[in-house]
């Protein structure tokens, strides 16, 4: 069980600012004046908001983001845009949570009602908190904050709007978690922080060993091989990712990678 708490800091502002050195996917901004009004992720996940906007023809934030990704990638299928959209958010959420947990033993409260998302921004996704509250950085808290708080409602919202397999999205979530652990491992190696690498590996292994993710792939250190595919190989000029279930892009059967 992951119980190590280090560098405890009562200042939540410093908790967020310390994440910036880890790279763009780990950045989480706190409250600030003058920011444009953008919805919270709770707003984005809400099916009632989607239904209301569908009447007026105005896309809800998730639909807007998926359409933007499809357009920018020239993706031949909407489900590719769905996959990339979901994996991008999953990578941001896992990175913030895992980075804070391994550096400080604490995490910012990622309640979707507090976490704002600019669906029109570039990658990595722009996220900021309207209020910074600090919670323990153990695996159970991370699972509650990221998986139950975000990835489950995000998956449900996307699948209510678009035809995409639940297994694909769970594989994306596991891949994003393993990717965050790998980035922390690289950072730790470059900064002489073996303690950070050890904590990142331990916490990632505990999370990926949970029943929610146990069947999504295999983890060896920070190397992960998933049992599904994110469909990026179907983007013009795209290929298979480093943790894909395929070693090379399939030539046919476009539905073979949906689960």
Q: Taking 90 as the threshold, does the pLDDT of residue 117 lie above it?
A: yes
Q: Taking 80 as the threshold, does the pLDDT of residue 206 lie above it?
A: yes
Q: Taking 80 as the threshold, does the pLDDT of residue 48 lie above it?
A: no
Please tell me which residue, 6 or 72, carries the higher pLDDT value.
72
Is the link from the previous residue into 49 a cis peptide, with omega within 30 of 0? no
Residue 183 lies in a domain: yes
Beta bridge partners of 49: none
Residue 178 lies in a domain: yes
Q: Taking 90 as the threshold, does the pLDDT of residue 252 lie above it?
A: no
Taking CB atoms within 8 Å and a gap of at least 24, the contacts of 212-220 are 212/143, 212/147, 212/170, 213/170, 213/173, 213/174, 213/177, 216/170, 216/171, 216/173, 216/174, 216/175, 217/171, 217/174, 217/175, 217/178, 217/243, 217/245, 219/178
Q: Taking 50 as the threshold, does the pLDDT of residue 2 lie above it?
A: no
Please tell me which residue, 9 or 181, carries the higher pLDDT value.
181
pLDDT score, position 258: 46
Please state the rounded mean pLDDT for residues 192-218: 95
Q: Taking 80 as the threshold, does the pLDDT of residue 253 lie above it?
A: no
Please state the rounded mean pLDDT for residues 175-180: 96
Read off the pLDDT band of 240 (50, 70, 90).
confident
Q: What average pLDDT is seen over the chain?
A: 88
Q: What is the DSSP string of 233-251?
A: GGSTT----TT-S-SS--S
Please state the rounded mean pLDDT for residues 52-71: 79
Q: Taking 70 as the threshold, does the pLDDT of residue 35 lie above it?
A: no
- Report the C-alpha gap between 50 and 108 in whole angstroms: 28
How many helices and strands in the chain, by DSSP H and E?
A: 9, 6
pLDDT score, position 256: 39
Residue 137 lies in a domain: yes
Residue 36 lies in a domain: yes
The overall pTM is greater than 0.85? yes
Residue 240 lies in a domain: no
Read off the pLDDT band of 55 (50, 70, 90).
very low
Percent of the chain with pLDDT over 70: 86
- Number of structural domains in the chain: 1
- Report the C-alpha gap between 75 and 232 in whole angstroms: 9
Question: Which 8-state DSSP code applies to residue 59?
Answer: P
Q: Taking 90 as the threshold, does the pLDDT of residue 248 lie above it?
A: no
90-110 pLDDT tens trace? 999 999 999 999 999 999 999
Read off the pLDDT band of 160 (50, 70, 90).
very high
Residue 243 lies in a domain: no
Greatest CA separation found in the chain? 55
Q: Taking 60 as the threshold, does the pLDDT of residue 52 lie above it?
A: no
Residue 258 lies in a domain: no
User: Which residue, among 209, 222, 145, has the nearest Cα to 1 in the 3D structure?
Assistant: 209
Q: Taking 60 as the threshold, does the pLDDT of residue 114 lie above it?
A: yes
Q: Note the Cα 189 to chain centre separation in Å.
A: 23
pLDDT score, position 71: 96
Q: Dig out the tokens for 184 from the structure.
A: 């922390």
Please tell me which residue, 126 or 252, carries the higher pLDDT value.
126
Residue 249 lies in a domain: no
Instruction: Tell me which residue range forms the domain holding 208.
Output: 12-234
- Report the C-alpha gap between 39 and 82 in whole angstroms: 19
């Amino acid at each position: 069980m992951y119980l190590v708490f280090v560098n405890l800091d009562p200042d939540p502002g410093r908790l967020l600012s310390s994440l910036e050195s880890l790279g763009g996917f780990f950045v989480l901004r706190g409250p600030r004046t003058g920011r444009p009004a953008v919805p919270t992720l709770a707003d984005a996940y809400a099916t009632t908001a989607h239904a209301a906007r569908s009447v007026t023809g105005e896309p809800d934030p998730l639909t807007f983001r998926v359409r933007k990704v499809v357009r920018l990638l020239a993706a031949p299928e909407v489900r590719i845009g769905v996959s990339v959209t979901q994996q991008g958010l999953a990578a941001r959420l896992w990175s913030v949570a895992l980075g804070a947990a391994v550096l400080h033993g604490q995490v910012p409260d990622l309640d979707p009602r507090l976490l704002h998302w600019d669906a029109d921004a570039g990658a990595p996704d722009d996220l900021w908190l309207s209020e910074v509250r600090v919670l323990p950085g153990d695996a159970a808290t991370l699972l509650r904050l990221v998986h139950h708080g975000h990835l489950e409602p995000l998956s449900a919202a996307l699948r209510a709007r678009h035809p995409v397999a639940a297994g694909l999205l769970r594989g994306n979530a596991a891949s994003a978690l393993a990717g965050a652990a790998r980035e922390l491992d690289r950072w730790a190696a470059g900064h002489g922080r073996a303690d950070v690498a050890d904590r990142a590996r331990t916490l990632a292994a505990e999370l990926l060993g949970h029943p929610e993710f146990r069947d999504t792939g295999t983890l060896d250190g920070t190397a992960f091989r998933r049992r599904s595919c994110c469909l990026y190989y179907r983007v013009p000029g795209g290929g298979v990712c480093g943790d894909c279930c395929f070693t090379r892009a399939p030539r046919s059967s476009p539905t073979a990678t949906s689960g």
